[in-house]
Amino acid sequence: MIVDGKKKIWSDYQKDIPDDHYFYVRSCIRQNFFPASEKVFLDIVRDRLGLDFFETPHHTTCGGIAYHSDSIPQETLMTIVARQFALMTEAGYENYVCSCITSFGIYNEIINTWFHYPELEAKIRELLWEASKREFKIPKSVVHASDVIYKLRNKILENGKYKLVDKTTGEPLRVVEHIGCHYSKMFPSKGVGGAEYPYVLTGMAEAWGGTVIDYPERRHCCGFGFRQYLVQANRGYSLSNTHKKFESMAPFKPDMIITNCPGCPYFLDRWQYVIEELEGKTYGADSRGIPVFTYEEVAGLVLGYDPWDLGLQMHQTAVEPLLDKIGIIYNKEDKYKI
Amino acid sequence: MTDRVLIIGGGPAGLEAANQLNLLGYKPVIVEKDDTLGGHLAKWDRLFPEGESAEAVLYKLIKPVEHIPVYLNTVVEKADKEGNLFRIKLSGGKEEIVSAILVCAGFSLFPAEKKEEYGYGIYNGVITSSDLEKWFKTGKGVNINNPSKVGFVHCVGSRDEKVCNRQCSKVCCVTAVKQACEIKEKFPDSEVFCFYMDLRMFGRKYEDLYLKAQNKYRVRFIRGRVSEVSEDFNGKVVIKAEDTLSSKPLKVSLDLLVLMTGMISNNSTEDISGILSLNRAEDGFIEPSDTITKMYDSGKEGVFLAGAVTGPKTIPETLSEARASALAIHNYLSNKALQ
């Protein structure tokens, strides 16, 4: 591995991430999968770092999950997105930040489509007006929430309590980073670090003391892939994708996985249990699994949040061995508190 | 009028044209931006299709023109037409007054790191055809230690809309076959794979080399493009590709992956075409006035073209064009003298 080569690519794919004043939209599935992540994100940027992140209860799904499972046509998707943009415009914001990778891809895809087909944008404006009497401006900036945490990674470290370091040996934790496919694979220039060697999560892991593993199936899908899982008959395919990734990363002995997509942490986490049941194989040191985190959860751990306030009790793969390895203080009894 | 002719570029086209112009009684002057003559040929080891020594070929080109003036590490900064003459300002403050200009600015190799998915500059086992040729010639530059599996990826930066290079580079297919055979000669126990779109064996004896690669050296030709490259725990290069003839995906671990980088317009072509007001095509190469009957004609009076400055070419094609350009310059200057 030639690290300087990666640094060169990373320097080629830097994007403009505004400092402040964002209109924030949530994911429609993350709140079920990892319920505290979005709450922690807002807590970090608003309360810990004093930034302006506006949120409205009137926003909806972006429609991406229906679009990618062929349930709604593109015009419907675009009108839903136009309404989201209208809410942002009405609130007086120009910087749009979304929690979901699918949404991030959808927003970039639609803005790019409108750029090339302005007549389609005009049609969607008419449809939105007919449906809701709303108008909208296209955001000046569309970023993913992981871009924001990436930008704030050093501030988080400055305010941090823990690092991604083995407290016994002082060695950096071995981190697998996994970006959602729709983060930069469609539009490499929209992702920090591009599509082939994305830096957004690597930058966080390295800033917080970890070392990142590059393994052969790094670019491979987590296994969600919409119809791989949404169509019940395809679920074996979903599982085999995840299995392929774990077999590939296992020789590198990762301590943890960090992700930035709603589906990835869910499938990488849950399918480990299924693989164990099906094949009797448990990955990770001492066969205790490889814990999988959202980037907000890792930021929260670094900042010293109580693991159970981060919702880590919702994970299938136990996180306690990793918490112990870092030296995070927590109360075991609180894991199932209500 | 003067009998001086400025030749921009000291590669095979420039050297051969200089020789022919000298034989015709003119005084050619070569301007070369690098510190040596020979262009890419000077860095090459052996040539297709029969493995001729590149050094011996270069010697044949340089020897007859040893006596002619050469400006190394020099570029043209300005060219003013004054009547039938050109007043040329060169870097370093030098000046030449010439009657004609021959542009032989050659080509550049596609920067392989632009195809990020292939991992050049990222993974140690990924090199370019140029790196391999340098290793064949000098044993230096890259570390190749008895590889058991070697892969070649054709058309890296050629015929590729994604990197804005639609043109075929012509020479990469047969170069890959040549280099695959050479790898087998050096490492007979190795397995060698070539991943190709089409094999364009257009030249005489190219097909023979291709058959030799299959029959004698057992090189495996797989029609399909490599989609991504990574590195495994042992440092081997892992590639994913598709075998389009059997309609199956492939995953192979290799010790060495060679990227056949294509020919693109020379970085300096933009500068020189601006100075001389020459037309460049969409692909960046200079557009001759007539691509069928006058490849040597720039369309600007007194300015001529030869070699890969007008598109990818083999060395024999380049040398033939250099001779044609020399003759065209001779005809041009003869007519001017009569006037």
Q: pTM value? A: 0.92
Q: What are phi and psi of A295, to 5 degrees?
A: -65, -30
The predicted pLDDT at position A327 comes to 97
Q: Is the dihedral of CA A322, A328, A329, A335 positive or negative?
A: negative
The radius of gyration of chain B from alpha carbons, rounded to an integer in Å, stands at 22
Tell me: do B171 and B114 sit in the same domain: yes
Q: Residue A162 pLDDT more than 90?
A: yes
Tell me: do B45 and B58 sit in the same domain: yes
Contact status, residue A99 vs residue A26, Cβ threshold 8 Å: yes
Q: What are phi and psi of A337, to 5 degrees?
A: -65, 150
> Chain B neighbours among A 76-105 (CB < 8 Å)?
none
Tell me: do B102 and B116 sit in the same domain: no
Query: Hey, which residues does A212 pair with through a beta bridge?
Result: A175
Angle at B166 between CA B179 and CA B244, to 5 degrees: 60
Binary contact (B230, A219; C-beta < 8 A): yes
Q: Look at chain B and count its residues.
A: 339
- HEC string of chain B? CCCEEEEECCCHHHHHHHHHHHHCCCEEEEECCCCCCCHHHHHCCEECCCCEEHHHHHHHHHHHHCCCCEECCCCEEEEEEECCEEEEEECCCCEEEECEEEECCCEEECCHHHCHHHCCCCCCCEEEHHHHHHHHHHCCCCCCCCCCEEEEEEEECCCEHHHCECCCCCCHHHHHHHHHHHHHHHCCCCEEEEEECCCCCCCCCHHHHHHHHHHCCCCEEEECCEEEEEECCCCCEEEEEEECCCCEEEEEEECEEEEEECEEECCCHHHHHHHHCCCECCCCCECCCECCCECCECCCCCEEECHHHHCCCCHHHHHHHHHHHHHHHHHHHHHHHHC
Tell me: do B159 and B258 sit in the same domain: yes
Token duo for residue B189: 């126990």
Region A7-12 average pLDDT? 88
Q: Which residues of B touch A251 (CB under 8 A)?
A: 232-233
> Chain B neighbours among A 247-266 (CB < 8 Å)?
251-252
Query: Hey, which residues does B98 pair with through a beta bridge?
Result: B86
Q: Residue A338 pLDDT more than 80?
A: no
Last-in-domain residue among B217, B236, B262: B262
Tell me: do B88 and B114 sit in the same domain: no
Counting Cβ atoms within 10 Å, is residue A100 exposed (0-12), middle (13-18) or buried (19+)?
buried
Region A224-242 average pLDDT? 88
Binary contact (B230, A214; C-beta < 8 A): yes
Dihedral (Cα; B152, B155, B156, B162), 10-degree rounding: -140
Last-in-domain residue among B228, B262, B296: B262
Contacts of A279 by beta carbon, 8 Å cutoff, 6+ apart: none
Q: Closest by alpha carbon to A210, among A274, A160, A267, A140?
A: A160
User: CA of A46: how far to CAs of A55, A89, B228, in Å?
Assistant: 11, 21, 40
Residue A273: CB atoms within 10 A of its CB come to: 13
DSSP state of A140: S
Q: Residue A133 pLDDT more than 80?
A: yes
Query: Hey, which residues does A95 pair with through a beta bridge?
Result: A22, A141
Any idea what the CATH number is for the domain that residue B197 is in?
3.50.50.60
Contact status, residue A146 vs residue A265, Cβ threshold 8 Å: no
Domain containing B82 equals: 4-107+265-338
Q: Which residues of B touch A6 (CB under 8 A)?
A: 122
Binary contact (A5, B121; C-beta < 8 A): yes
How far off is chain A from B175, nearest CA to CA, in Å? 27
Contact status, residue A260 vs residue A306, Cβ threshold 8 Å: no
- Asked if A7 is an interface residue toward chain B (Cβ–Cβ < 8 A), one would say no
Binary contact (A8, B117; C-beta < 8 A): no
Q: Residue A6 pLDDT more than 80?
A: yes
**CA-based end-to-end distance of chain A:** 47
Q: Look at chain A and count its residues.
A: 338
- Asked if A215 is an interface residue toward chain B (Cβ–Cβ < 8 A), one would say yes
**Searching chain A, which residue's CA lies closest to the CA of residue B234?**
A251
Binary contact (B122, A219; C-beta < 8 A): no
Q: Closest by alpha carbon to B37, among B57, B23, B20?
A: B57
The radius of gyration of chain A from alpha carbons, rounded to an integer in Å, stands at 20
Q: What are phi and psi of A135, to 5 degrees?
A: -130, 160
Indicate which of B226, B227, B233 best probes the interface with A, i.e. most A CBs within 10 Å of its own CB: B233
Binary contact (A219, B116; C-beta < 8 A): no
**What gap in Å lies between CA A67 and CA A75, rounded to an integer?**
10
Region A43-63 average pLDDT? 96
Tell me: do B150 and B285 sit in the same domain: no
- Asked if A197 is an interface residue toward chain B (Cβ–Cβ < 8 A), one would say yes
pLDDT in tens, chain B (339 residues): 579 999 999 999 999 999 999 999 999 999 999 999 999 999 999 999 999 999 999 999 999 999 999 999 999 999 999 999 999 999 999 999 999 999 999 999 999 999 999 999 999 999 999 999 999 999 999 999 999 999 999 999 999 998 999 999 999 999 999 999 999 999 999 999 999 999 999 999 999 999 999 999 999 999 999 999 999 999 999 999 999 999 999 999 999 999 999 999 998 899 999 999 999 999 999 999 999 999 999 999 999 999 999 999 999 999 999 999 999 999 999 998 887
Tell me: do B122 and B254 sit in the same domain: yes
Tell me: do B91 and B228 sit in the same domain: no
Q: Closest by alpha carbon to B323, among B300, B307, B309, B303?
A: B307
Tally of domains within chain B: 2
Tell me: do B102 and B132 sit in the same domain: no
Residue recorded with tokens 């007539």: B290
Region A203-212 average pLDDT? 97
Out of B124, B228, B232, name the one closest to residue A219 (CB): B228
Q: Closest by alpha carbon to B110, among B134, B126, B140, B130?
A: B130
Tell me: do B24 and B82 sit in the same domain: yes
Last-in-domain residue among B262, B294, B325: B262
How far off is chain A from B152, nearest CA to CA, in Å? 19
**What gap in Å lies between CA B215 and CA A151, rounded to an integer?**
57
Contact status, residue B47 vs residue B60, Cβ threshold 8 Å: no
**What gap in Å lies between CA A274 and CA A281, rounded to an integer?**
10
Q: Residue A51 pLDDT more than 90?
A: yes
Binary contact (B122, A216; C-beta < 8 A): no
pLDDT class of A265 with cuts at 50, 70, 90: very high
Contacts of A215 by beta carbon, 8 Å cutoff, 6+ apart: A176, A248, A249, A251, A252, B230, B232, B233
Residue recorded with tokens 């989609």: B227
Q: Which residues of B touch A218 (CB under 8 A)?
A: 230
Indicate which of A177, A187, A214 best probes the interface with B, i.e. most B CBs within 10 Å of its own CB: A214
Binary contact (B121, A8; C-beta < 8 A): yes
Residue A227: CB atoms within 10 A of its CB come to: 14
Residues A140-163 as b/e (b if ≥16 CB within 10 A, e otherwise) read ebbbbbbbbbbbbbeebbeebebb
Tell me: do B252 and B113 sit in the same domain: yes
Write the ipTM. 0.87
Q: A268-306, pLDDT tens digit by residue?
A: 999 999 999 999 999 998 889 999 999 999 999 999 999
Tell me: do B162 and B258 sit in the same domain: yes
